[in-house]
Structure 1
Amino acid sequence: MVISYNKLWKLLIDRKMSKADLRRAAGIAPNTMTKLNRDEEVTLETLGKICGVLGVNIGDVVDIFPKCQEEKKGRKTQ
């Protein structure tokens, strides 16, 4: 499974909000923000905090693609 937070980063750009501002507003730990930057899995609680701050749904900040698309992109699965 491939996770992408590109929607989140685009949303922050549109709202002229920095990643640091989001981290502080949502009460997210720095290591969790690093996971987001690396397109790694984070908890639903974390995604819920982000969505609460931004006033959006989870589908507005994250995309999840099937494993077959991951292999097409040349990424290794875990």
Structure 2
Amino acid sequence: MTKAKVTGSKAATSASKTLTSGSTAPKSKTAAGSALSQTKAPAKVTSAKAATAASKVLSDGRTNKDSKTAAGSALAQRQGRGKK
């Protein structure tokens, strides 16, 4: 059994900055919202939509550090699919 993950304080701060920025893309805000909602909430997991957004944020070279930190946190909390 794996330990439940929650958003840490550094990632939560980055997510907050991402959400309040006026110049942030919608995909970044989706990933940041997911990460922020999982602060102190180990039962929550990242949705497929938010995980896809987070993946795109991480692969986009134009994305700033705060957005990538929040996206990484959201993606790390995605429930594994298990073995096929």
TM-score (norm 1): 0.37
Larger radius of gyration: 1
